Amino acid sequence: MLDHEEKFLFKEEILHLGDAIADGVVLDNVEDLLTDVITSPRFDSEVFTLERSLQVMLGARAGTTLVGLLTVAPEVFDEVAEVRIPPEVHERLVAWRARFGLAIDNALNFLNNPDGVQGHSFATQVAHLEDRRVLQGRLTLVRYNNEPQFFVADAAVFVALATDILDRLGPYLEPDSVEPEAVARLHEAVALIDRKTARRE
């Protein structure tokens, strides 16, 4: 629960937020933004920029307050009912918290405290873009909570990613850091890339 000073500050922030979203058009715009984020296939990255997007839309103070309000503890959120804001604003805040709050809170917790990855798979595909064919990769990462996350990108992106990873890890590896079979596969993969990308005279 909030103490007397915290209640005063909380009330001030909610009043400021209430003024920022009092207009019906603004309420609709905020709801559209939250809906777009929650339904986006790039949900994690969209949540990462959600506060900034709300700050652009509502102002820095109100944007930060809204994100905090959607993810605050239930007993703190209940304090909103004691603040004099328009009934339609209060109704929207309650609805947004019920609809979006848990998902946004979980995503923000993951971004701040990543679960890590327990497995992966990689496949290739050919995309037909206008009059050309583009080789792409599809990477699936499985988190420790067993939720998969998918990434699709052109082949060049994944080759650059693999190069960056090896460049960063290389200086810190020790003799027992990598299985000999993995090192052999890397040699074979680099040799194959050399052959496939070599320019013919």
Q: Give mean pLDDT, residues 170-195.
A: 93
pLDDT for residue 161 is more than 90: yes
Average pLDDT score over the chain: 86
Helix axes 87-96, 24-39, angle to 10 degrees: 0
Stated pTM of the model? 0.53
Sheet containing 117-129, strands listed edge to edge, beginning at the edge strand earlier in sequence: 117-129, 132-143, 148-154
**Which among 126, 145, 146 has a CA at the least distance from the CA of 136?**
126
The phi-psi region of residue 30 (left if phi > 0; otherwise alpha if psi is between -120 and 50; otherwise beta) is alpha
Across 42-46, 97-101, 149-153, least confident range: 42-46
Q: Give mean pLDDT, residues 171-183.
A: 91
Domain-wise residue ranges, the chain: 4-112, 117-197
pLDDT for residue 6 is more than 80: no
Q: Tokens 């004099």: give the residue.
A: 84
pLDDT for residue 5 is more than 80: no
User: What pLDDT is recorded for position 126?
Assistant: 92
User: What pLDDT is recorded for position 122?
Assistant: 93
Tokens of residue 113, six digits: 């405290």
User: What pLDDT is recorded for position 113?
Assistant: 64
Q: What is the pLDDT of residues 16-58, one digit of tens each?
A: 999 999 999 999 999 999 999 888 877 777 887 888 999 999 9
Q: What is the pLDDT of residues 105-135, one digit of tens each?
A: 877 776 666 666 778 899 999 988 778 899 9
Give me the percent of the chain exceeding a pLDDT of 90: 48
